[in-house]
């Protein structure tokens, strides 16, 4: 098929490379000329495991091309994937202006039966509203809601081996056309109406955010009653109704999706007259989690952070990415800095404005009163803890990811405070 992908961001690039890999001819439309030039020069503007070889292979077969003009990109396209940003606006609602602008731009340019595929995360009801907009503009283009479920760091794998495909269409014919792209995957396809498809995306992310926040709450409680959260969650996760995934306690969720999507769903609910109290409580508890970690660090530093040095391992919102958007690590760092601490951070991939980065994990702990581990990079588990102790001024490790083995840390002459471990 001829497919256009609009937006060479993280979702658009993975989608375009993945569709080319499946044998389709893909034209990628991107408004940023520098990005187009760098893609044409064979560069990959973002780091995502497996993306560079996939793009390279697509280039090799001549099945992918890059365009500054969207009308050029959609010429002869059977399907147009809209992979545009939908950031939170000042009220927490999703900003749909990018999508609206491109739909307006393409409404009368695409071939009459072209299917516009809304890949971006958009609030329930958006595709219905866009459909009406197309009709008002006199366009006969078709429209489908087809949310993505790509995790940063495993996005290529998530594209090629998804748990499920969700397609929300007004007509079965359109749903079938999009579903057919994935026929060889042999995974369940949920065909539904557009609003339900949009709900599935928000429901999935909000449920996952709630689930890990619940695990964090259990960790806090385990700590208070003297239970061990690692054993508790092992026992809980073995119930087949619950399962073991997404139950790791940590410093709260971050990244480009969960914070934005949970807030947006609350606003969607409010606009529809439903008070989503449960989700509001999740967001509140998540916020508290970072405060709790900051308080642990403060207590470890003797109750006052003024003039204290905190070595920070990790800035990225999770391991395997250089993304610091809404990162719990950077947000906790700022809480500490606001209370007078000097924070010296090390992250293998990420850096953050306003937070001092050092060249190695050991440099980060030089003269530190406390070491805080905020991102679960596996390389942090192999650092010589005797050397860490020698370089630190204090003795305490606050492990907000339960990454290290408490006995090993204590064996090196350090004090260990994890989450939910007595
Ligand atoms: C998420 C969704 O998983 C994906 O389907 C959606 O399309 C985009 O948002 P991503 O933001 O890349 O993907 O991160 P994910 O791996 O889901 O983790 C989100 C946050 O939860 C991270 O801050 C992570 O550290 C945290 N987390 C995750 C935990 O604290 N504990 C867990 O058990 C799992």
- The best mutation among 255, 259, 260 to test binding of ligand 1, ranked by most ligand atoms within 8 Å of the C-beta, falls on 255
Residue-range domain boundaries for the chain: 2-192, 193-422
Give one word for 151, left, alpha or beta, with left for phi > 0 and alpha for psi -120 to 50: beta
Question: What is the percent of the chain where pLDDT is above 90?
Answer: 96
Q: Is 151 in the pocket of ligand 1 (CB under 6 A)?
A: yes
Of the candidates 257, 341, 345, 385, the residue annotated as catalytic is 257
**Residue 46 above 90 pLDDT?**
no
pLDDT at 3 over 80: yes
Q: Report the pLDDT value the prediction gives residue 420, as an integer from 0 to 100.
A: 97
Ligand 1 pocket: which of 258, 322, 402, 419 to mutate (most atoms within 8 A of CB) = 258
Query: Is pLDDT at 417 greater than 90 in this prediction?
Result: yes
How high is the pLDDT of residue 126? 97
The arithmetic mean of pLDDT across residues 189-210, rounded, is 98
Tell me, using a 6 A CB cutoff, whether residue 250 lines ligand 1: yes
Q: Distance between CA atoms of 326 and 246, rounded to whole angstroms?
A: 18
Distance CA 358, CA 345 (A): 6
Beta bridge partners of 167: 191
**What CATH fold (topology level) applies to the domain 193-422?**
Rossmann fold (3.40.50)
Q: Are 234 and 270 in contact, with CB atoms under 8 Å apart?
A: no
Q: How far apart, in whole angstroms, are the C-alpha atoms of residue 383 and residue 252?
A: 25
* Nearest by Cα to 134 from 115, 108, 114, 98: 108
- For the cut 90, the answer to whether the pLDDT of residue 168 exceeds it is yes
Which residue owns the Cα nearest ligand 1 atom 9?
257
CATH architecture of 2-192: 3-Layer(aba) Sandwich (3.40)
Ligand 1 centroid to residue 212 C-alpha, Å: 9
| Ligand 1 binding pocket includes 255 (Cβ within 6 Å) | yes
Our mutation pick for probing the ligand 1 site, out of 9, 212, 244, counting the most ligand atoms within 8 A of Cβ, is 212
Return the HEC string of the chain: CEEEEECCCHHHHHHHHHHHHCCCEEEEECCCHHHHHHHHCCCCCCCCCCHHHHHHHHHHHCCEEEECCHHHHCCCCCEEEECCCCCECCCCCECCHHHHHHHHHHCCCCCCCCEEEECCCCCCCHHHHHHHHHHHCCCCCEEEECCCCCCCCCHHHHHHCCCCEEEEECCHHHHHHHHHHHHHHCCCEEEECHHHHHHHHHHHHHHHHHHHHHHHHHHHHHHHHCCCHHHHHHHHHCCCCCCCCCCCCCCCCCCCCHHHHHHHHHHHHHHCCCCCHHHHHHHHHHHHHHHHHHHHHHHHCCCCCCCCEEEEECCCCCCCCCCCCCCHHHHHHHHHHHCCCEEEEECCCCCCCCCEECCCHHHHCCCCCEEEECCCCHHHHHCCHHHHHHHCCCCEEEECCCCCCHHHHHHCCCEEECCCCC
User: How far does the centroid of ligand 1 lie from the alpha carbon of residue 30, in Å?
Assistant: 27
Query: Is 344 a residue whose pLDDT tops 90?
Result: yes
Percent of the chain with pLDDT over 70: 100
Q: Is the CB of 150 under 6 A from ligand 1?
A: yes
What is the per-residue pLDDT across 51-94, written as a single tens digit (0 to 9) for each? 999 999 999 999 999 999 999 999 999 999 999 999 989 998 99
Domains 2-192 and 193-422 share a fold: yes
In the predicted model, is pLDDT for residue 422 greater than 80? no
Indicate whether 128 pLDDT > 80: yes
Q: What is the pLDDT of residue 92?
A: 85
Torsion-angle region of 50 (φ positive above 0: left; ψ -120 to 50: alpha; else: beta): left
How much is the average pLDDT of 187-196?
Answer: 98
What is the CB neighbour count within 10 angstroms for residue 172? Answer: 10
Model pLDDT for residues 380-403, shown as the tens digit of each residue: 999 999 999 999 999 999 999 999
159 lines ligand 1 (CB under 6 A): no
The residue whose CA has the least distance to atom 7 of ligand 1 is 149
- Confidence at 345, pLDDT banded by 50, 70, 90: very high
Please indicate whether residue 7, judged by its CB atom, sits closer than 6 Å to ligand 1.
no
Q: pLDDT grade, residue 47 (50/70/90)?
A: confident
Active site residue 83: no
Of all protein residues, the one whose alpha carbon is nearest to atom 16 of ligand 1 is 151
Average pLDDT, the chain: 97
Asked if the model's pLDDT at residue 117 lies above 90, the reply is yes
């Amino acid at each position: 098929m001829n497919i256009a992908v609009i937006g060479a961001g993280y979702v658009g690039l993975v989608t375009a490379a993945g569709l080319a890999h499946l044998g389709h001819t893909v034209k990628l439309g991107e408004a940023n000329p520098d990005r187009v030039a760098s893609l044409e020069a064979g560069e990959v503007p973002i780091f995502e495991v497996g993306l560079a070889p996939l793009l390279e292979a697509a280039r090799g077969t001549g099945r992918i091309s890059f365009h500054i003009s969207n009308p050029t990109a959609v010429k002869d396209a059977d399907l147009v994937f809209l992979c545009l940003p939908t950031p939170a606006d000042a009220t927490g609602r999703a900003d749909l202006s990018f999508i609206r602008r491109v739909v307006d731009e393409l409404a009368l340019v695409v071939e009459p039966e072209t299917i516009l595929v809304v890949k971006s995360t958009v609030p329930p009801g958006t595709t219905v509203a866009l459909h009406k907009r197309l009709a008002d503009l006199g366009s006969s283009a078709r429209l489908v809601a087809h949310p993505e479920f790509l995790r940063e760091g495993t996005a290529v794998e998530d594209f090629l081996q998804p748990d499920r495909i969700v397609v929300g269409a007004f007509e079965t014919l359109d749903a079938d056309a999009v579903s057919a792209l994935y026929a060889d995957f042999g995974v369940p396809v949920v065909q539904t109406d557009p609003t339900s498809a949009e709900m599935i995306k928000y429901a999935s992310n909000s449920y996952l955010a709630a689930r890990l926040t619940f695990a964090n709450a259990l960790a806090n409680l385990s700590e208070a009653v003297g239970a061990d959260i690692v054993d508790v969650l092992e026992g809980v996760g073995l119930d087949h109704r619950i399962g073991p995934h997404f139950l790791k306690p940590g410093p709260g969720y971050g990244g480009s999706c969960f914070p934005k999507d949970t807030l947006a769903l609350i606003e969607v609910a409010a606009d529809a007259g439903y008070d989503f109290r449960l989700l509001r409580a999740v967001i509140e508890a998540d916020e508290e989690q970072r405060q709790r970690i900051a308080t642990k660090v403060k207590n470890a530093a003797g109750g006052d952070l003024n003039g204290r040095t905190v070595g920070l391992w990790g800035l990225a919102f999770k391991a395997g990415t250089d993304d610091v958007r809404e990162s719990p690590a950077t947000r906790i760092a700022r809480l500490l800095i606001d209370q007078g601490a000097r924070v010296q951070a090390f992250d293998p991939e990420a850096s953050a404005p306003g937070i001092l980065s050092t060249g190695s994990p050991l440099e980060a702990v030089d003269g530190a009163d406390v070491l805080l581990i905020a991102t679960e990079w596996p390389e942090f588990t192999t650092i010589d803890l005797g050397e860490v102790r020698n370089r630190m001024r204090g003795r305490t490790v606050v492990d907000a990811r339960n990454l290290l083995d408490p006995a090993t840390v204590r064996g090196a002459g350090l004090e260990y405070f994890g989450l939910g471990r007595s």
